Amino acid sequence: MKDQGKYQALTYYQLMEVSLRELLVEKGLVTEQQVAATVEDMRRRTPERGARVVAHAWTHHEYKARLLEDGTRACEELGLDVPALKLVVVENTPQVHNVIVCTLCSCYPRMLLGIPPDWYKSRNYRSRMVREPRAVLAEFGLKIPRQTRIRVHDSTADMRYLVLPMRPAGTRGWSEERLAALVTRDSMIGVALAKQPRSK
């Protein structure tokens, strides 16, 4: 529990978590060390991992082709451990905009982006993205031109999806590291574009 300076009663669900964990430890099914290590593993999985993959694809044509062909293998090539991830990478272009949703629960490429944000798991996003993607994207501030086709990916089974956003103009010659800083989580879900470089 967070130290908030005074005692706070556990909620029913927090009580359930503590109880279940202690029972599993007593039965020898998990250890506190394993729980802590698993929490830390998950904490290390942040959108910076996805951004690294995107920036590498932006700067290496052949890598990009391999990434679109077999996302999992291409991640492993970069030394990212992606256990159990079957990754499909879909590329945004001026002609096609891709966006990801899971209408049944909240499937998400956790190995590359971490734990999904609350809105991704919300009823409003899950219900509406498949039926009115343009309206929902506009609520995110993203206006998709009518002539651009939209591909909505309802991530319902064993694959996980990552959007390869378009490389922003004005970044010719940039290093991968600098490019990766433009790649936001939302741009890899497909509800935003990559950040534009600041003109100086």
Residues that bind other proteins in the complex, under the rule CB under 8 A: 1-2, 7, 9-11, 13-24, 27, 29-30, 34-36, 38-39, 42-43, 86, 88, 103-106, 115, 117-119, 121-128, 130-134, 136, 139-140, 146-159
As a whole number of angstroms, the distance between CA 142 and CA 36 comes to 39
For 98, residues 6+ apart whose C-beta sits below 8 A from its C-beta are 90, 91, 92, 150, 151, 152, 153, 161, 163, 190
Catalytic option among 75, 107, 155, 187: 107
As a whole number of angstroms, the distance between CA 109 and CA 115 comes to 9
Provide the minimum distance between the beta carbon of 188 and other proteins in the complex, in angstroms, as a whole number: 15
Provide the minimum distance between the beta carbon of 1 and other proteins in the complex, in angstroms, as a whole number: 7
* Residue closer to other proteins (CB basis): 14 or 196: 14
* Residue closer to other proteins (CB basis): 59 or 103: 103
* Residue closer to other proteins (CB basis): 42 or 178: 42
Provide the minimum distance between the beta carbon of 38 and other proteins in the complex, in angstroms, as a whole number: 4
Catalytic residue list contains 105: yes
* Residue closer to other proteins (CB basis): 42 or 177: 42
- Are 67 and 53 in contact by the 8 Å Cβ rule? The answer is yes
Provide the minimum distance between the beta carbon of 57 and other proteins in the complex, in angstroms, as a whole number: 19
Catalytic residue list contains 75: no
Catalytic option among 105, 122, 127, 175: 105
- The catalytic residue positions are 102, 105-107
